[in-house]
Structure 1
């Protein structure tokens, strides 16, 4: 809504990294006062709810340095410049799991932390999975271990904090809603 709009007076880039950029904006608030906003720009990402024929959820375990621990997560990855989210979804499913989807359905998108970042994650449902003989390799600095869980097992992992990232919790709650219908 326009009544809450903040006008950018000046913007100062402060970091340009491999994945993110960070800037500090000076803004004019709706009441005419000024403030600063630290903003993280991210290219966006996709995440996949990949379901096997046995209705198990394909998950990856990987180490997350900011948390200093491993997490169980749904497969995901960042968008490459100019890449459509569905293409990213197919690529990440193959790289992280060795599967391809016979059916790929867009579910929704959400912003991860709109208070300071513009990162958006597009969630897809991948069904009719088949193993690829020679799948693309994961990124050279990415180490993942594959596991398949029932929805009940995944919910238990949420309860004991093995699953605690927003995209995976969001995906599992989506599956729970589908199950109730």
Structure 2
């Protein structure tokens, strides 16, 4: 059976509990200089001059800075998941995905999750269980996605959309969610990842408030 092999690490393919990764000795890049080259409400871009671990220098490594955001996997008492369908201009197509939204300045990620969940879907929930955080495009992007599971979600019947948003809510049976991912109907990277995190939490039957 194939087993991953890394310098300074070992992996046992026969037992998940025995997979181990010893401390590694790689070094981060050194920033020699940094300057902002673009600044708008939605995105910032900076240009770094860096020295790699092997000594090579790059004088034009661009990093995209965006706000962190929260992603919510909601679940109603009758086991349906509120998904949102909206147009995404970056890919010029309509996407079916989990509700999500940017975290405002000095806002707690859990508070942002609660706010965005209601704004985009009209649903509320008493608790938002953290599922973890994900780095999106870490090669040249610095923002983080905070994932939450919102059980016993209740419909208030009223979205609170921004004037730039046009969102349709699609209530999807829980037992069809993984098929939607596998078929590509849900193909947003963060929605796919958070769906799997939520399904694992639900299978384990654990609650982490």
| Structure-1-length-normalised TM-score | 0.91
| Residue aligning to 1:171 | 194
Note if contact 1:79-1:85 (Cα within 8 Å) is conserved in structure 2: yes
| Residue aligning to 2:167 | 144
Quote how far apart the aligned CAs of 1:72 are: 0.7
* Aligned positions of 1:97-112 closer than 5 A: 97-112=121-136
Deviations 1:27-86 (A, max 9, x none): 112222201321011120000010001111110001111111111111100011111101
**DSSP 3-state at the match of 1:155:** helix
| Residue aligning to 1:70 | 94
Deviations 1:65-113 (A, max 9, x none): 1111111111100011111101101110110011111121111001011
**DSSP 3-state at the match of 1:66:** coil
Any stretches of 5+ residues in structure 1 without a counterpart?
A: none
- The answer to which structure has the higher helix fraction is 1
Using CA pairs under 8 Å that are at least 6 residues apart, name the structure with larger relative contact order, 1 or 2.
1
Larger radius of gyration: 2
Flag as ranges the 4+ runs of structure 1 deviating above 3 A.
Answer: 178-181
* Aligned positions of 1:79-158 closer than 5 A: 79-132=103-156, 135=158, 137-158=160-181
* Aligned positions of 1:30-69 closer than 5 A: 30-35=53-58, 36-69=60-93
Any stretches of 5+ residues in structure 2 without a counterpart?
A: 1-23, 205-209
Quote how far apart the aligned CAs of 1:2 are: 7.0
Quote how far apart the aligned CAs of 1:132 are: 2.8
Instruction: Single out whichever of 139-148 and 28-37 deviates more from structure 2.
Output: 28-37
For the residues of structure 2 that align with 1:172 and 1:38, how far apart are their CA atoms? 31
The number of residue pairs the alignment matches comes to 180
Q: 1:51 to 1:180 in 2, by over 3 A?
A: closer
Deviations 1:120-140 (A, max 9, x none): 00001111222336x562111
